[in-house]
Every structure is written in C-alpha cells, then in structure tokens.
Structure 1
Amino acid sequence: MNYNHLHYFWVVATEGSMSRAAERLGVAVQTISSQVRALERSLGAALFRPEGRGLALTPAGQAAWRQADEMFRLGERLPELVREADGEPILRLAVGLVDGLPKLLVHALLTPILNEPRLRLQCLEDRPEALLAALALHRLDLVLTDRLPGPNPNLKVYAHRLGSSGLSWWGTPNWAERARDRFPHSLGELPVLLPSPHAAVRMQVDRWFASHGLRPQVVGEFQDSALLKTFGASGLGLFPAVDRVQDDLRQRYGVERIGALDDVQEEFFALSTERVVHHPLVKRLMQPATGPETAA
C-alpha cells in the first residue's frame, strides 16, 4: 500500500471535500483526486460517495478512515513524544466530558490531580456516543458522565462510581428572598431555569415539581450548565445546582441557596476500557470513589 495515497484519503475524509483537502495540503485538486482513486483501486472498494457539495464516506471508507485516523494522529504526535522522551516525562490525561455535566463539578472531580507538576490535561466535551467512540480508540483515558451507558456488544466499558450529590435551588439575593417565602410552593410562582431534557438529572427535577403539585414557569433551558448558572446569576430566574459546589457558586456567581430538592441526587461516573485502571492519574481520581466498578 502507498501510504501517501492513504494520507491524502485521510485529509479528504477529515475535511469533507477534495477542494478543502487540496487547500490544506497545498496541492491541486486533480492530484488529490488521482491519489484517492489509486487507493480505491488498491483496496478494491469505493471510499467516498457524493453528498451535497461535499463527500461522505461509504461503509468501506468509514472502516478505512478509522484505521487511517489512528495512524496519522499517532504520527502527528511523534515529534512531540520524541522531545518529551529527551526531557522530563509528562503525565498526559485526556478526559471526555459528557455535554451538560456541571463545569464546577468537573473541576472538583479533577482536583486530586491538578497539583501534579508534570500534568498535561486535555478535556473534550461532546455527546456520550462520540466520547465512547474516542474512548474505544484510546484517544481518551476516561470519560466523566452523569449516567451509565447503554449495553453495547461491540464495546466493553467499565463504569467507576465517583460519588453523588444532592441538589438545591439557587438565585440572586432578590429572587432568593422571594423564593424562601412559602418554599417550595414559591417555585411554582417564580421564573426558573432548568437543564435541558438531555441531562440525566432533568427527569428527577420534573418529578420533584410533580411531587409538590407545582407547574414551574420555565423561562430557559440550557444544555450547558455554565450558561444556566450565568443566566441565573444575571437574575433571569431560579436554578438548580449540585450541593457539592456550594462555595464556588457563592463566590463565582454571587447567588444564594434557597432550599433543597429533596430526594434528588445526581450521580457521577468515570468510564474506562479497563476494569483495573493502570494510568497513575486515573488511579488517583478513583481513590475517592464510593462504589465498585460496573461493566456496561
């Protein structure tokens, strides 16, 4: 196999079109096209199909891209790895964050490793399925999430429980004063901000309202927890947040605690492809875990 052809194919697949790949590589589109066709002849399969103004991978192309992507991403890291080997070793930790996971909580969960002088931390936020795919390809060392993944016969994932936290209602001083009067029934009369339905805790919050016979005045729903707190701190409405980060909420956002969402708990897990974790930083993160790992 001509690996130059494979590299051209990888760039086209990454960029989504031959014109963008040609611009990135500084060559003519015709050169890109001929290299990709040569690779297709070598493999005996079509790797691309037209889609809109660009190209999409065929099933054969997807299989080829997964292998090529791992190869060339490792190749891109080679100079850096050589430089590191020639100096003081660096402890890398690549962490995937399920979108919607509270950012203040992520910082709290990662605190045990942040004083490591040789640390190089990489954080990627994405959808759960995208993070699991990256974990399977060993681009991530672990994934932090608030829910257990569904069964997947093609991927063995172990969930290590990191703990849980209750939730409370928060708001600016003016809203907090009004909300404390007749709490929790006041939550049915005042504007509230909620995590979007994709968040694992949202269903519990909805049940909390139902258990108290309340119909909330929802003025905003946010996929990003930091945005939810930012708009809450601006006075748009009351919002729920995990109790584990109370001090940070007060200091960073200037908000006040109103009352607890009784019986609502948000759980947190670290997902890995190993039952017994060997990465030294991941092992350090697992030390405060309050429960055993679960195969998912």
Structure 2
Amino acid sequence: MDRLNYQHLFYFWNVAREGSVTRASEKLRLAQPTISGQLAVFEDAIGAQLLRKEGRRLTLTEKGRTVYNYADEIFALGRELTNTLKGRAGASGGRLSVGIADALPKLLVYRLIEPALRSQERPQVICHEDKVERLLAELSLHGVDLVLADAPATVSAGGRVYNHLLGQCGVAVFGAPALAAKYAPDFPRSLEGAPLLFPTPATALRRSLDLWFENRRICPEMRAEIEDSALMKTFAAAGVGLFVAPVAVTGEIERRYDVVRIGDLEGVTESFYAITVRRKMDHPAITAILESAQDLLTLA
C-alpha cells in the first residue's frame, strides 16, 4: 500500500461510527453498493479485515480499531483546520485523550490534568475511565494518548510503553464529623473495629492498606469495598464509614464532602503514573502534566 486513500478511509470511518453500511449510506447520501464496494477496496489495500458482522451490526476487528483511532485523529485535525481557517475561537488546541484508572481519586486526577487545560495550546481534553488493562490496550492501539494509573505498566501489557512516575503522596483517614470525633482519639489504634470503606483488592492502595493493618495488628470493620473513589466519598459523607485518600487534596475533600481528616497512615503512600507510548512523548499537554505533577504530589 503506497498511498492511503483518504476517501476510502472516510467511508470506513463513517461505517464504523454508524455500525452499519445502511446508516452510513443514509448519512453520506450514497448508495449502499458504493459504500460496500469502497470498503472492500480499502480492506484489500490495507491487507486485513477491518469490520466483521455481529448480528445486525458491524464491529471493528483489532486492526480495524487501530485504523479507526487514527482516522478519528485525522478527521478531528481536519475539523480543527477548518475552524482555524474560519477564525473560530479555541480552534488550535488539538486534542488530548486521557485514560483514567477507575480507582484513582477524581479530585487528584483533575488536579493532575488541570495544567493541560491551562496550557497555551488549550487542548480539547477527552477523559475515558476504565480498568487499567483495557486502557493500556487502547493506548497500544493509539485510542488514548496517555493513561493515568496507580501502578506502572508491566511487560505483560504488551507493546512499547513508557512509565513516568508523577510522584508519591501520603494518605490519611477521613470521616464524617461524628465518626471523626469518635475515632480521632488514640489514632491509629482507634481504627481497631472502626467501620472502614476499602478500595477493591485489585488496587495498589488496597494492597498497601492490607499490609499496613496486618503489620500493626489492627483489624477494622470492612463496611464496603468500593471501586469508584467518588462513590466511596459519597458513602463516607453519609456516615457509613471512614475512608483513605491522598493528603494532597485534603482541603478539597473536606470542603466538598463535609468530612474531617482524622490522621495520617504513616508509611503508606499512593503512587501515580502517566503511561505513554513513544509516539506521543512530544505532546505539549502531556509535557505540562508531567512537569506540574511533582509540585502537586508530595510525601506530606
């Protein structure tokens, strides 16, 4: 394949978005045989099947997902160019697609991404929240530009990925005022039998917490295991139990959820990583995130 036929790519992109040749034909106002024929020519030029039939819907193959993600970027850049030529505000910022591990504290995630929003390029930021494994798969297919996670990617993730340690942060125990008043005295021994909301076992923080409690022979009451950090704080605000969160966002947590910082868990830290592929290393918005993270994340 010497040259990419962008017209064929455009037809494929629309079929993938619509999920069927019929709907894509209606949208583009072209005959179905025309679209089907051009798709066949495009797949032949690519040398791989890009779409497969699942019931009444067409879905992307692995190769199709890769081509679709590139096409999405290509046509987004085309729209940005059109807007720039027409002098529309905010047209020159590009896009930054961020994959966010679902266990990460959302307040801290915002603080990490905020420098990109304030950067001179003013990119359009697109956030995807999911399991780390699925986000890393999207990263390898160029579906996202970087992944924010609480642990580095390992060789099992496949492909060439690069881990950037953004920093480490101490953690503290928080709770609604009534629970805080009860468990603050004699902290951390007061956590024996205390109602606690835990992150799920798959997270690095959970493994650190289990080890910390085991080493100190403290056994709290596990009231719930909650994957989403924002949902955990909502439970805690209602007085269901205590929870653990990074000290770097103490002020925001206390104001937003009306909870109190009871005490710090000495020796427990939470790490934060930005995971990228080499192709995206020169993205100015990613650079802004990497350069600002150390100021936010401290071992306080």
TM-score range, shorter chain: 0.7 to 0.9
Task: Kindly state the Cα deviation for residue 54 of structure 1 after the two structures are TM-superposed.
Answer: 4.1
Q: Hey, what does 1:162 align to over in structure 2?
A: 166
Task: Kindly state the Cα deviation for residue 261 of structure 1 after the two structures are TM-superposed.
Answer: 1.8
Identity rate of aligned residues, in percent? 39
Alpha carbons of structure 1 residues 69 and 266: separation in structure 2 relative to 1, 3 Å: closer
Q: Which amino acid aligns with 1:91?
A: G
Equivalences for residues 163-182 of structure 1 within 5 A: 163-182=167-186
1:214-262 deviation per Cα after TM superposition (whole angstroms, max 9, x unaligned): 3332222222211111221121111101111111112111111112222
Q: Secondary structure at the match of 1:129?
A: helix
- Asked if residue 192 in structure 1 is aligned to residue 219 in structure 2, the reply is no
Q: Hey, what does 1:256 align to over in structure 2?
A: 260
Q: Hey, what does 2:298 align to over in structure 1?
A: none
1:13, 1:65 within 8 Å by CA — same for their partners in 2?
no
Instruction: Give unpaired runs (5+ residues) of structure 2.
Output: 295-300
> Alignment partner for residue 122 of structure 1, among 120, 125, 147?
125
TM-score normalized by the length of structure 2: 0.77
2 CA distance for matches of 1:24 and 1:3?
A: 18
Task: Kindly state the Cα deviation for residue 18 of structure 1 after the two structures are TM-superposed.
Answer: 5.5
Task: Kindly state the Cα deviation for residue 62 of structure 1 after the two structures are TM-superposed.
Answer: 3.1
1 CA distance for matches of 2:248 and 2:198?
A: 18
Q: Which amino acid aligns with 1:82?
A: T
Please give the root-mean-square deviation of Cα atoms over the aligned residues, in Å: 3.6
Alpha carbons of structure 1 residues 282 and 71: separation in structure 2 relative to 1, 3 Å: closer
2:172, 2:261 within 8 Å by CA — same for their partners in 1?
yes
1:148-175 deviation per Cα after TM superposition (whole angstroms, max 9, x unaligned): 0011585222222211111111001101
Q: Hey, what does 1:84 align to over in structure 2?
A: 84
2:106, 2:229 within 8 Å by CA — same for their partners in 1?
yes
TM-score normalized by the length of structure 1: 0.78
> Alignment partner for residue 106 of structure 2, among 100, 103, 108?
103
Q: Secondary structure at the match of 2:278?
A: coil
Task: Kindly state the Cα deviation for residue 275 of structure 1 after the two structures are TM-superposed.
Answer: 9.5
User: Which shows bigger deviation, 149-158 or 238-247?
Assistant: 149-158
User: Which shows bigger deviation, 93-102 or 279-288?
Assistant: 279-288
